[in-house]
Amino acid sequence: MDLEFDVGKSLVPKTGETISGDTIEVYDTGSSTTVILADGLGSGVIANVISSLTAKSAVDMLDQGIDLDRIAEILAKSLPDVANNTDVGYSTFTIVQVLPDGTCSIIEYNNPRTVIVENDVITEIPRQTFNVSGKQIHKCHFQIQEGSWIILVSDGVINAGVGVLWNHGWGQERLESYISRVIHKFNAAEDLCRDLCDVCQTLYSEKISDDVSIAAILSRKTQV
């Protein structure tokens, strides 16, 4: 059974900034759909420049037919070590690629864990880890089915409510718990992204201290 994919995205910049420091790119060839979420260090224009460069570089390499593992390796080698806080050129990234036959590949570098939902239930897929220039890259490959969701988030989502409602923010577990409770209400990826951004804004008490970015992929049976 061939699948097609509904992709949505939503970005809310840090309060006081006119542009998000995060970038989301969608690359659809017909034979594959790839979503890249890059999070530049800091916020505003400078962060946006590096996250845009990271995401667009990934798209350019996909266009050249370079495979995901090699793309992740090239990106990781080109990025500075976050431990050196003088390096403003730092960015994290998540790359998700889905194929019509249901094959899904996820590559993550220092972004929150991608959320996978099957049959309205959060599914944990073990990651493999490989090291590139001292940087740990996580990846997994698995099969999805009709109605599966793949949800990418920036750390601004995980940090929502930090110091206000919770010491360490909304967190991965609370995020996944919320998604598991509401996912059955949604049949469009864009609607889910907007809902999660709205929740984050509420948790931040409308004073967003970190860019909030969400992308979602919903698989559907191909319409003949």
> How far apart, in whole angstroms, are the C-alpha atoms of residue 23 and residue 12?
11
pLDDT in tens, 135-182: 999 999 999 999 999 999 999 999 998 877 777 899 999 999 999 999
Q: Print the domain residue range for 121.
A: 3-221
The answer to whether 12 touches 212, Cβ cutoff 8 Å, is yes
**Residue 61's CATH number:** 3.60.40.10
Q: For residue 164, give both structure tokens.
A: 């206000």
Q: How many domains does the chain have?
A: 1
C-beta neighbour count of 156 within 10 angstroms: 30
Residue 131: per-residue pLDDT: 93
pTM of the entire structure?
0.95
Considering 74-88, 112-126, 152-166, the range whose residues carry the highest mean pLDDT is 112-126
Q: Which residues pair with 8 in a beta bridge?
A: 216
Would the CA dihedral through 124, 94, 75, 61 be positive or negative? Answer: positive
208-221 exposure pattern, b = at least 16 Cβ within 10 A, e = fewer: bbbbbbbbbbbbee
Task: Say how many CA atoms lie within 13 Å of 114 toward its Cβ.
Answer: 30
pLDDT in tens, 121-133: 999 999 999 999 8
Residue 134: per-residue pLDDT: 87
Mean pLDDT of 36-43: 94
The answer to whether 154 touches 172, Cβ cutoff 8 Å, is no
